[in-house]
Structure 1
C-alpha cells in the first residue's frame, strides 16, 4: 500500500499544479459529456447529386504545433475510408484551422464558398462552434471530432465518444442485473463534474436511484480520505454500486481501488463501475477493487481491423482519435451510396439505423450528440472478460 501512496502522491501533485486551465484543455481531449444545450439538429442541408463526386471539407489544425501529428492521422484515416467506399466518390479538401476558432470560422466559410457540401472537423469544441456558426445560414452541417455534448445541436454534430453514452450503457446493464441504486464518486474538477452529471442523467433515464454523491479533491490526502470513508457513504445510503468517474490512467485510481476495499467497500457485495476504459491501464487489474468491476469497450475486433488496415496503408499506428475521421467519411459515404439527394441533411445524418465505424455501430442523434454501441467488460484473474458484447446494430429509431 505504501508504494501505491508514494506513486500517487507524485502524480497528484503534478495534476494539481496544472491548474484549471489545463483541466479545461484536457476536458475536450478526454471523454466528457453532459446534457446537450444546442437544441435539435437542423433537418435541412444541401441537395447533392449522388452520381457526382461530393465535396467534403476536412478542417484540421495542421499549423498548430501541439496538434499537427493528430491532424496528419485524422487526414490519413479519412483518406483510408474514402479508399474503401468503392464507386462512391468523395472529393476531400483539407483546410488548416491552426487550432484557432477565428481561423476555423474563416476556413469553414472558404470551404463552403469553394463548394463544400458538409464539413468534417474541426478537432476541438471551441473551433467547431465557430465553424458551425458561420455556415449555419447556408444550411451546411458540421461533424466535429469533439466530444463536448454541451456544444452540440443545430447544424453541429459531435463524433467523439461521450460520458453520457457510456453511463447510459452501464446503467441499463446494471438495472437489468439487479443494480437499483448507485453512489457516485467523482473528482472535483471539470471532467469529474461532467462525469457526475452524465451518471445522474443516465440513472434517471434507467430508473436507478442516486443514493449518494461524493466528490474528492485532487490531492493525496483528499483522495485517500474519501476512499477510506466510502464505506460510510455506501452503508449509510444503501447504494448497491459505486460509479467512479476518474480516468483509468489517473493517479487517483490505484488509491481508490486499494483503499475503498480496505475501508470496507467489498467488491463482493458492492458493484464497482468505471466511467472510462480500464483495459487501457492493465496495471490496475491487480488492485482489489478492480476484480469484477464493470466498464465499457468498443467492438475490439473492428478496432483492431481498422488499426491493421491503417498500419498497412501508412506504416504506423493510428492516433486514438484517428478513427473519428474514418467514421465521419464512412457515414457520409454510406448516405451518398444510397443515391439520396438529401444525403447530407440533418434528417439523413440522424437515420435510426446508424452507421458502421471503426469501433462498431454508431449513430448521430437529433440533439447533435451520438450513440455508440459498447460492450460491457469486467476484470477476472487480471484479464479482461466481455460480459455483454457490443451490439452489431441498433433496434428502433432510438430517439
Structure 2
C-alpha cells in the first residue's frame, strides 16, 4: 500500500520513499520493485532503527511536491526518490526549504546539487574507467563509432577528455542513426583497412543498437578479435555475448556477483525477477541504514552523505559527490559467449580506485 510504513526495531529514524506508485504504464511496476528492494535492505540489516515511509508521487511534479510535503510533515530526516527528473525538481523545492536531503533515482544531472544526490548510473561517468583500462593494455589510438543520440554525445565528450588526459588519440570518427548505420560502419572499416593505426574501437551503444550494429561490423570485417572493441555500461545487458562480433569486447560495469546475489534474494522474498534499476532502491536504503546510528541532526548531513570512503552496495562502491552526482567503483568485463567475465576487478576502496 502507498502509505504502508515499514518499521525496524524502534523506527525512531524516519526515511521517506517517494515513488510513482500509482502512475500509469510501466512506472508503477518499477516503483513497486524499488520499494520492495528498499524493504529487502531493511530485512537484510536485521531491523535497524528506521521507519521507511512510502509516499506516492503519482508520477507527476504536483504529486511529487505533495509527497515531499507529507514526508517533511511526518518528520522524515531523509528522502529517497523520486524517480523522474521533473518529480525530483518539484520535490526538491520542498525538501530544500525544510533542510531534508534527497537521494534520487533520476539520471538527469540537471536536477542534482544543493541537497539532491543522484544514486543512478550517470551517462559518461564510466568512460574514464574503460579508457584507463584500455590504455593500461597498450591501446593508445582509437576509432569512435557513436550513435547520434543524447547519450552518444555525452559518452563521446567524456571519451575525448579521458583519451586526451591519458595522452592517447582518436583520429577516426563516425556517427550513425538508424538510417546510416551501414555507411558509418564502412567508414570505420575503410580506415582500418587502409592501414591507419587503430588499437581499439569505442562503441558507446547499447541494447537498442548493438544487435543491429554487430552483424554489420562483422560483415565489414570488424570484430573485437581484430580491433579491440570497448564499450560503456550500456553493454551490460543479458545476452550481449550472443553477438559474435562483440566477443572479446571490454566494458565497465559493476561486478555481476553483487547483482546476482541480490536478484536471488529478491526473487526468493517477493517472487519474480527484479528490473535492473531495483538495485538502486536497495543501495539507497543500505546507505540510509549505515548512517542511521549517527546522532540526530548529523545522520544525513552533507559531510556524512559525501564521505570520501563512500558506501558499498549491490553495485559495488559508490560515493555521493558535493555537486550531487555520484562516482562508482567499477569492474571491467569481457564479453564471452555465455556470460561476461570480470577481467579487472572493481576497487575495494576509493583509495585504490585511481590505480586501475
Same fold (TM over 0.5): yes
TM-score, reference length from structure 1? 0.78
**Which residue pairs with 1:253 in the alignment?**
210
Mean Cα deviation higher: 200-209 or 134-143: 200-209
Give 1:148 deviation, angstroms: 2.2
Distance 1:140 1:212, change over 3 A: farther
**Which residue pairs with 1:43 in the alignment?**
none
Query: Does the 8 A contact of 2:205 with 2:234 survive in 1?
Result: no
RMSD (Å), alpha carbons: 2.5
Give 1:105 deviation, angstroms: 1.8
Distance 1:323 1:128 in 2: 19
The one of 324, 331, 336 equivalent to 2:292 is 336
Give 1:178 deviation, angstroms: 1.4
**Which residue pairs with 1:169 in the alignment?**
129
Distance 1:394 1:179 in 2: 25
Matched, 1:359 2:296: no
Distance 1:69 1:144 in 2: 17
Give 1:98 deviation, angstroms: 0.9
Q: Matched residue pairs, number?
A: 343
The one of 113, 118, 132 equivalent to 2:73 is 113
Distance 1:93 1:200 in 2: 43
Give 1:128 deviation, angstroms: 1.0
Is there any run of 5+ residues in structure 2 with no aligned partner, and where?
Answer: 1-9
Aligned to 1:387, the other structure's residue is in SS state: strand
Matched, 1:227 2:185: yes
Query: Does the 8 A contact of 1:188 with 1:218 survive in 2?
Result: no
Distance 1:152 1:133 in 2: 12
Distance 1:279 1:347, change over 3 A: closer
The one of 216, 221, 233 equivalent to 1:276 is 233
Distance 2:150 2:187 in 1: 23
Distance 2:120 2:321 in 1: 13
Matched, 1:133 2:93: yes
Is there any run of 5+ residues in structure 1 with no aligned partner, and where?
Answer: 1-50
Distance 1:383 1:63 in 2: 36
Aligned to 1:163, the other structure's residue is in SS state: coil
Matched, 1:387 2:343: yes
Query: Does the 8 A contact of 2:173 with 2:188 survive in 1?
Result: no
**Which residue pairs with 1:3 in the alignment?**
none
Give 1:348 deviation, angstroms: 0.6
Give 1:171 deviation, angstroms: 1.1
Query: Does the 8 A contact of 2:141 with 2:171 survive in 1?
Result: yes
Aligned to 2:186, the other structure's residue is in SS state: helix
**Which residue pairs with 2:16 in the alignment?**
57
Distance 1:52 1:240 in 2: 56
Give 1:339 deviation, angstroms: 5.2
Query: Does the 8 A contact of 1:230 with 1:263 survive in 2?
Result: no
**Which residue pairs with 1:86 in the alignment?**
46
Mean Cα deviation higher: 373-382 or 258-267: 258-267
Distance 1:331 1:290 in 2: 36
Distance 2:131 2:256 in 1: 21
